Amino acid sequence: MPEPLTLLYQDSHLLGVHKPAGLLTHRTALDAHADDDLVTRLRAQTGAPVWPAHRLDKGTSGVLLLARDAGTARLLGDRFADASQGAARHIDKRYLALVRGWPADTGETAQPLARDPELASAGQAHLPACTRWRVLQRLLLPLSTDPRHEHTRLALVEVQPLTGRRHQIRRHFKALAHPLIGDATHGKGPLNRALAAHIGHHRLWLHALQLSLPHPITGTALVLWAEPGAEWSSWLGGSGLISGHRPARPASPARCPHAPGNGHGRSPA
């Protein structure tokens, strides 16, 4: 019997849940052999139906918001669809990510992304996508995965996706030559394996830290926070930059171009 999911928030309309890494948000043909998912678990745990307002990739942990009735699900669906296109400024998402190399202290990328990351990008529509980041900590590990270098550079970054394309954070950091550690699709396999052995923990190092939005029914401000797992602070030496960390107030909106079409349900992670 799996452990009960940690509830971050609940009322008669909404549930906020801490999704564990390695668990699907819901069943999908992309992982047809998986026999476990968050929606099924949560329905069993609460004894009632739930509707996810957005998705997190299987390897990503952290804040996930769900509706408890169909009407609220429709309202949230519209809002998250707008946010996916960069049109809604009232939904703010923050992530923690561990990346290869040392990016600039702060930055923003607006590289368009192919609609479907599972297919070759040539010939596909490319949609506007915007991602901001700031470096929280730079790391130099006594680990070599390249004979030209004695050490491995990593950075812990706070990421703010301003649109919601599928795998947006992972694809944008790959394009920046700073792929996420543990990313089997967009990352570097030899580095991922070497670091998993060095750290003693294998996962995609991406965590949905905070979700801020107005309540879809009452309009009151909601801020949902999911503390990163112990694996984050333990191997980073207990720096204090993660445990108890709260992101700065939302940055002013970037000038992201608006894309036609519905991006609802896509995960920026």
- Identify whether 144 is part of a domain: yes
In DSSP terms, which residues pair with 92 in a beta bridge?
212
130 is a domain residue: yes
Q: How far apart are the C-alpha atoms of 268 and 180, rounded to whole Å? A: 13
Rounded-to-integer distance, Cα 142 and Cα 82, Å: 44
Q: Is residue 241 part of a domain?
A: no
Residue pLDDT, tens place only, 36-46:
899 999 999 99
Alpha carbon distance 161, 155 (integer Å): 18
Question: Considering only CA atoms, which of 245, 247, 75 is closest in space to residue 161?
Answer: 247
Give a yes or no: residue 246 inside a domain: no
Task: Please check whether residue 88 is in contact with residue 75, taking contact to mean a CB–CB distance below 8 angstroms.
Answer: no
Range of the domain at 19: 6-235
Give the tens place of pLDDT for each residue, 5-34.
Answer: 999 999 999 999 999 999 999 876 565 566
- 259 near 86, Cβ under 8 Å? yes
Region at 99 (left for phi over 0; alpha for psi -120 to 50; beta for the rest): beta
Q: How far apart are CA 28 and CA 84, in angstroms?
A: 20
Q: Is 31 a catalytic residue?
A: no
Residue 118 CB neighbour total at 10 angstroms: 9
Residue 157 included in any domain:
yes
Domain harbouring 53, CATH code: 3.30.2350.10
Q: Taking the CA of residue 87 as centre, how many other CA atoms within 13 Å lie in the half-sphere pointing to its CB?
A: 14
- pTM for the full predicted model: 0.86
Mean pLDDT of the chain: 85
Which stretches within the chain are classed as H helix? 38-46, 70-84, 168-175, 189-199, 230-235
Sole residue written with tokens 């702060």? 106
Domains of the chain: total: 1
What is the spatial distance between Cα 267 and Cα 221, in angstroms, rounded to a whole number?
22
- Residue 255 located in a structural domain: no
In this structure, the number of other CB atoms found within 10 A of the CB of residue 253 comes to 12
Which stretches of 31-151 are assigned E, i.e. beta strand?
51-52, 61-67, 92-100, 106-109, 113-114, 126-127, 131-141
Considering the domain boundaries, does residue 252 fall inside one? Answer: no
Residue 105 belongs to a domain? yes
Rounded CA-CA distance 48/38 in Å is 13
The residue from 11, 37, 57, 69 that is catalytic is 57
Cα 92 to Cα 84: distance, rounded to the nearest angstrom: 11
The pLDDT assigned to 33 comes to 66
Tokens 């030209």 sit at which residue?
Answer: 148
Residue 64 clears pLDDT 50, i.e. is over it: yes
Rounded distance, CA 38 to CA 115, Å? Answer: 25
Provide the pLDDT for residue 89.
61
Write out pLDDT tens, residues 216-260: 999 999 999 999 998 987 656 544 445 555 555 444 444 555 443
Task: Kindly state the tokens that stand for 150.
Answer: 């004695």
pLDDT per position as a tens digit, 84-116? 666 556 899 999 999 999 999 999 999 999 877
